[in-house]
Every structure is written in structure tokens, then in C-alpha cells.
Amino acid sequence: MSTELSPHAQAASRASTRSFRRTVKNYVSLTKPRVMELLLVVTVPAMFLAQGGIPNLWLVLATLLGGAMSAGSAGAFNCYIDRDMDRKMKRTENRPLVTGEISDRNALAFSWVLGVLSVAWLWLTTNWLAAALSAAAIFFYVVVYTIVLKRHSEQNIVWGGIAGCFPVLIGWAAVSGTLAWPAWVMFLIIFLWTPAHYWPLSMKYRGDYAAAGVPMLGVVRGQVTVGLQVILYTWATVAASLLLIPVAEMGWVYTIAALAFGGYFIAQAHRLYGQAIRGERGKPMRVFHTANIYLSVISLAIAVDALLPF
């Protein structure tokens, strides 16, 4: 007896599969995977440095999974709270809460489930400190940044960016159960790096943020002021990265990477400022991408240095 599906049934099956994949894709997009990837990039080096070598691989995987759920929860909450603004911005007009592909209720439930799972998972697989830091990171991003600061202060990304500093603390705590000075220096690096990284983006999408009523620095201040602030935070970021050398006894790999790529980061920031002074449109996204490369490179250098015997 033939079990082959009819053409109509096959078409329905394919449509069902496409619908399922589309739904999964939409829920993944709520977690802001690009932001999540950047946060996880700094977690592993913190674990290597805390261990002084390669930590237990299961612990690394467990921490990354917990961190991914934590960052994903914060991102999903952000999409839910900011859905009114996302409808007014061109770069966010295709988010699933804007298009209606995911309901507000389902998005909120998804956010809570991911958040609770992240804390419970880290508590069970690492320790209470890493779990508590995960909960604090979600709270800071959702309440302090998204609800309190984002709509009301031009300094929103400065203090709200603290949430993005928590992954290094979570990674360190997962390995050692404590928080030592090198972890706090890494925290400081990311804290200072965040405005230098994000403000060029606010220059690029100034019109979007203005339309949504978000007082990003790129909206409420001129390009010259924003460019100067980017320079100041870039210099501060590089200075903080060099502080890690004596505090964590970093070796030559990290030292060379911090100096070389730090110098390139600074040069790009000055270039953007010079363009702003001359009244040119400039290329703020070049600084944005340079900042991403810089953080990735020094994070890799931290991990490599932790593996070297000298």
C-alpha cells in the first residue's frame, strides 16, 4: 500500500515547515543575536584569564549557554518595551513585533522564560554568583537602560551600557566563584568602549532616533560634539586596556595587540572628528566596525596570552 503523500499534502507539509522555520527565525531575532555574539566574545577570554589557561570545557559551554539566554532575554524585553519606537525607525521596521509576526503577549512570555532559565541554568551549572550577575545584567538592561534612561537622557548609552559589561564578570565568576581586579578592569574596558562604539551608530541613524524621540547624543548634539566624545572615550578605552597589563600580568601578545589595534581605533576616531570639524558627512560606521574589530582582537589576545607560559 502506497504511503506517498498527495501533491496537496506535500505542499501543505512544505508550507508548514517554512512557517515553523519563519517562527523560529522571528523568535531568534528578538534576542538580538548580533549583540549576543559580541557579548559572548568577551566571556570566554575572561574565563581563560581567570583559569590561567583552558578552563573546563563543559563549564565554558554551560556559561556561554547561560549567558546567551541572559542576553537574549534582555534583548527580547527591549524589543517588547521599545516596539512603539521600532515602528517609527527604518532600521527596525522589520522586527517581528512591528510586523506582527509575533504577538506582544508571546514576546513578553518568551522574555521571561529565557530570563528565568538563564538564572536557573547558571545557578545549577556554575555557581550562585554567576547566576546573580546574570539576573543583575537583565535588570540593568531592561529597567535602568530601556525603561529609565533610553527615552530620557542623552547619556543613556553610557550608564545603560553597564549591562554589556556583565558578561566578563559572569565568565570570571563561573570559573573562580569570586571577582578579582582583572575582571573589574575588563569591566571598565567594555564600559568605556560602549559609547565609543555606539555613538557613531547614533550619528549614522540620527534621523531614525529623532523620529522615534530617542535623545541619543547624535540627535541632541552636533557632529563635532559627538566626534569629540568618541575620541575621549576611545582614548579612555585604550588606556584602560593597558591597565590590564600590570593588573593581570599580561604578556607580549596582549601588549602588542592592545597598542597596535588601540592606536588604529584612536586614529579612526580622530578621523571622524576631523571630518565633523570640516563639515563633511564622514563615515561613522567605519568607527563602529573598527570598535567591533578592536574588542574582538584584544579579547582573543587575552585568551591567547592566558595560554602562554610566559
CATH number reported for the structural domain that contains residue 78 in this entry: 1.10.357.140
On whether residue 54 sits in a domain, the answer given is: yes
Q: Is the pLDDT of residue 123 over 90?
A: yes
Q: Are residues 37 and 160 in the same domain?
A: yes
Mean pLDDT of 157-163: 86
Task: Enumerate residues 6+ apart whose C-beta is below 8 A from 109.
Answer: none
Say what the pLDDT of residue 21 is: 84
The domain tally of the chain equals 2
Instruction: Between 158 and 189, name the one with better pLDDT.
Output: 189
Query: For the purposes of burial, counting CB atoms within 10 Å of the CB of 151, is it exposed (0-12), middle (13-18) or buried (19 or more)?
Result: middle
- Average pLDDT of the chain is 89
Say what the pLDDT of residue 59 is: 96
On whether residue 94 sits in a domain, the answer given is: yes
Reported as a single tens digit per residue, the pLDDT across 67-113 is 999 999 999 999 999 998 888 888 888 889 888 899 999 999 999 99
Structural domain harbouring 276:
180-310
Query: For the purposes of burial, counting CB atoms within 10 Å of the CB of 284, is it exposed (0-12), middle (13-18) or buried (19 or more)?
Result: buried
On whether residue 199 sits in a domain, the answer given is: yes
Q: Is the pLDDT of residue 207 over 90?
A: no
Q: Are residues 37 and 116 in the same domain?
A: yes
pTM: 0.89
Q: Are residues 190 and 51 in the same domain?
A: no
Q: Tell me which of 133, 159, 179 is where a domain ends.
A: 179
Q: Are residues 210 and 278 in the same domain?
A: yes
- The CB density around residue 283, as the number of other CB atoms within 10 Å, is 16
Q: Tell me which of 140, 159, 179 is where a domain ends.
A: 179
Q: Are residues 169 and 34 in the same domain?
A: yes
Mean pLDDT of 110-118: 96
Q: Is the pLDDT of residue 168 over 90?
A: yes
Helix (H) or strand (E) holding 5: none
On whether residue 76 sits in a domain, the answer given is: yes
Say what the pLDDT of residue 10 is: 53
Residue ranges in the chain assigned as alpha helix (H): 7-30, 33-51, 57-81, 83-86, 96-99, 104-125, 128-139, 156-160, 166-176, 181-204, 206-212, 217-220, 223-248, 252-277, 284-307
Which residue, among 79, 45, 123, 101, has the nearest Cα to 307 in the 3D structure?
A: 45
Reported as a single tens digit per residue, the pLDDT across 13-72 is 555 556 778 888 888 888 888 877 877 889 999 999 999 999 999 999 999 999 999 999
Reported as a single tens digit per residue, the pLDDT across 242-255 is 999 999 999 999 99
Q: Is the pLDDT of residue 11 over 60?
A: no
Q: Are residues 172 and 194 in the same domain?
A: no
Helix (H) or strand (E) holding 6: none
Residue 292 DSSP SS3: helix
Say what the pLDDT of residue 2 is: 47
Say what the pLDDT of residue 24 is: 86
Q: Is the pLDDT of residue 297 over 60?
A: yes
CATH assignment of the domain containing 217: 1.20.120
pLDDT band at 293 (very low <50, low <70, confident <90, very high): very high
What is the residue type of 42? V
On whether residue 11 sits in a domain, the answer given is: no
Q: Are residues 141 and 211 in the same domain?
A: no
Q: Whose grid coordinates read 517588547? A: 80
Q: Tell me which of 179, 196, 224 is where a domain ends.
A: 179
On whether residue 5 sits in a domain, the answer given is: no
Q: Are residues 205 and 101 in the same domain?
A: no
Mean pLDDT of 267-293: 90
Say what the pLDDT of residue 152 is: 86
Q: Are residues 184 and 160 in the same domain?
A: no
Say how far apart CA 13 and CA 51 lie, in whole Å: 50
DSSP string, 166-219: HHHHHHHHHHHSS--HHHHHHHHHHHHHHHHHHHHHHHHTHHHHHHHT---HHH
Mean pLDDT of 179-194: 96
Q: Are residues 72 and 202 in the same domain?
A: no
DSSP string, 44-76: HHHHHHHHTSPPPHHHHHHHHHHHHHHHHHHHH
Q: Are residues 244 and 304 in the same domain?
A: yes
On whether residue 20 sits in a domain, the answer given is: no
Q: Is 240 in contact with 111 (CB distance < 8 Å)?
A: no
Q: Are residues 284 and 174 in the same domain?
A: no
